Amino acid sequence: MKILIIEDEEELRESIHAYLKVEGDVCEQAMDYPTALEKISLYSYDCILLDLSLPGGDGMKILEEIKKMGKQDGVLIISARNSLDDRLNGLGLGADDYLVKPFHLSELKARIMAIVRRKNFGGYNVMSFQEIAIDLMGKEVKIEGQLLSLTKKEYDLLIYFIANQGKVITKNAIAEHLWGDEMDLSDDFDFIYTHIKNLRKKMIEAGSKDYIKSMYGVGYKFGMP
Amino acid sequence: MKLAEKYNRANLLTSLIVLAITGIIYYVAIHFILTEKMDKDLVIEEREIEAYVKNYGRLPSPGDFLHQKVAYEQLKDGQSIERDFYYSEFYNEEEKELEPGRNLSTTITVGKKNYLVTISKSRAEAEGLVRIIFLITIGVTILLLVSLLLINRLVLNRIWQPFYQTLNRMKAFNLAQKENMHSSHTKIDEFNELNTAVATMAERVKKDYKELKTFTDNASHEMMTPLAVINAKLDLLLQESPLDSKQGALIHEIYHAVNRLSRLSSSLLLLAKIENKLLTEHETLDLKQAIEEKALHFQELMQNKGIQYSQQLQPKEINMSKYLLDILLNNLFSNSIRHNYQGGRIDINLSENKLVISNTGNENGLDHQQVFERFYKNPASEGMGLGLAIVKQIVNLQKFEISYVYQNNLHIFTLFF
CATH 1.10.287 domain position(s) in chain B: 189-275
Q: Which residues, 6 or more positions from B58, have their beta carbon under 8 angstroms from its beta carbon?
A: B110
Q: Are both A205 and A138 inside the same structural domain?
A: yes
Shortest Cα distance, chain A CAs vs residue B174, angstroms: 24
Amino acid at B160: W
B262 lies within 8 A of chain A by CB: yes
What is the rounded (10 degree) CA torsion for A158, A161, A163, A168?
A: 180
Shortest Cα distance, chain B CAs vs residue A123, angstroms: 26
Q: Are both A213 and A137 inside the same structural domain?
A: yes
The beta-carbon neighbor of A216 closest among B243, B304, B338 is B243
CATH 3.30.565.10 domain position(s) in chain B: 283-416
Would you call A187 and B382 a contact, using CB atoms and an 8 Å cutoff? yes
Shortest Cα distance, chain B CAs vs residue A17, angstroms: 10
Find out whether B357 and B295 touch, Cβ atoms under 8 Å: no
Residues pairing with B32 in the sheet = none
Would you call B238 and A170 a contact, using CB atoms and an 8 Å cutoff? yes
Q: Are both A194 and A157 inside the same structural domain?
A: yes
Find out whether A54 and A36 touch, Cβ atoms under 8 Å: yes
Half-sphere exposure of A31 (CA within 13 A, CB side): 8
In the predicted model, what is the mean pLDDT of residues A87-97? 73
Prediction ipTM score: 0.86
Q: Which residues, 6 or more positions from B391, have their beta carbon under 8 angstroms from its beta carbon?
A: B328, B331, B332, B372, B402
> Using CA atoms, how far apart are residues A195 and B303, in angstroms rounded to an integer?
12
For A117-154, write each residue's pLDDT tens digit.
Answer: 887 766 557 778 888 888 887 788 888 888 888 888 88
Would you call B228 and A103 a contact, using CB atoms and an 8 Å cutoff? yes
Q: Residue A181 is part of which domain span?
A: 126-222
pLDDT at residue A82 tops 60: no
B252 lies within 8 A of chain A by CB: yes
Average model confidence (pLDDT) across chain A:
82
CATH number of the domain that A87 lies in?
3.40.50.2300
B326 lies within 8 A of chain A by CB: yes
Please list the alpha-helical segments (H only) found in B110-188: 124-151, 157-171
Q: Are both A41 and A90 inside the same structural domain?
A: yes
pLDDT at residue A110 tops 70: yes
How do B308-313 and B345-350 pair as beta strands? parallel
Q: Which helix (H) or strand (E) holds A67?
A: helix A59-68
- What pLDDT shows up at residue B348? 92
- What pLDDT shows up at residue B9? 84
B244 lies within 8 A of chain A by CB: yes
Q: Are both A35 and A137 inside the same structural domain?
A: no
Q: Are both A94 and A138 inside the same structural domain?
A: no
Name the nearest CA neighbour of A124 among A133, A137, A115, A114: A137
Q: Are both A132 and A198 inside the same structural domain?
A: yes
Q: Are both A46 and A130 inside the same structural domain?
A: no
Distance of CA A10 to the CA centre of its chain: 20
Q: Is the dihedral of CA B336, B339, B342, B343 positive or negative?
A: negative
B23 lies within 8 A of chain A by CB: no
Would you call B260 and A186 a contact, using CB atoms and an 8 Å cutoff? yes
Burial of B280: CB neighbours in 10 Å, binned 0-12, 13-18, 19+? exposed
The CATH class that applies to domain B3-143 reads alpha beta
Q: Are both A64 and A137 inside the same structural domain?
A: no
Q: Which helix (H) or strand (E) holds A77?
A: strand A74-79
Q: Report helix, strand or coil for A130.
A: coil
Amino acid at B99: E
pLDDT at residue A83 tops 60: no
- Of A105, A121, A137, which closes a domain? A121
pLDDT at residue A67 tops 80: yes
Total domains, chain A: 2
- What pLDDT shows up at residue B160? 82
- What pLDDT shows up at residue B347? 92
Query: Residues of chain A with pLDDT > 70: what percent?
Result: 88
- Of A78, A94, A121, which closes a domain? A121
Q: Find chain B residues with C-beta within 8 A of A213's C-beta.
A: none
- 3-state secondary structure string across B314-326: CCCEEEECHHHHH
B240 lies within 8 A of chain A by CB: no
B161 vs A183, more confident: B161
Contacts 24+ apart (CB under 8 A), B34-43: B34/B123, B34/B126, B34/B129, B34/B130, B35/B102, B35/B126, B38/B102, B38/B121, B38/B123, B38/B126, B39/B85, B39/B102, B39/B104, B41/B68, B41/B121, B42/B68, B42/B85, B42/B102, B42/B103, B42/B104, B42/B119, B42/B121, B43/B104
How do A97-100 and A74-79 pair as beta strands? parallel
Q: Are both A63 and A150 inside the same structural domain?
A: no
B295 to chain A: closest CA residue: A179
Mutate to test the interface with A, among B233, B235, B237 (most CBs of A within 10 A): B235
Shortest Cα distance, chain B CAs vs residue A60, angstroms: 18
Name the nearest CA neighbour of A99 among A71, A68, A78, A74: A78
The beta-carbon neighbor of B239 closest among A168, A183, A186 is A168
Would you call A9 and B228 a contact, using CB atoms and an 8 Å cutoff? yes
Query: Consecutive 10-residue runs of chain B (417 residues): their mean pLDDT?
Result: 79 84 86 89 88 85 74 79 84 79 86 84 83 84 85 82 85 73 77 88 86 78 85 88 82 85 82 76 86 85 85 88 86 85 89 89 76 74 77 87 87 89
Shortest Cα distance, chain B CAs vs residue A179, angstroms: 7
Name the nearest CA neighbour of B291 among B240, B343, B242, B346: B346
Q: Are both A65 and A135 inside the same structural domain?
A: no
CATH 3.30.450 domain position(s) in chain B: 3-143
What kind of architecture, by CATH, is found in domain B283-416? Answer: 2-Layer Sandwich (3.30)
Shortest Cα distance, chain A CAs vs residue B368, angstroms: 22
The beta-carbon neighbor of B266 closest among A18, A82, A172 is A82
- What pLDDT shows up at residue A66? 87
Q: Are both A98 and A180 inside the same structural domain?
A: no
CATH number of the domain that A198 lies in?
1.10.10.10
What is the rounded end-to-end Cα distance, in angstroms, of chain A? 25
- Of A121, A155, A170, which closes a domain? A121
pLDDT at residue A88 tops 70: no
CATH number at B189-275: 1.10.287
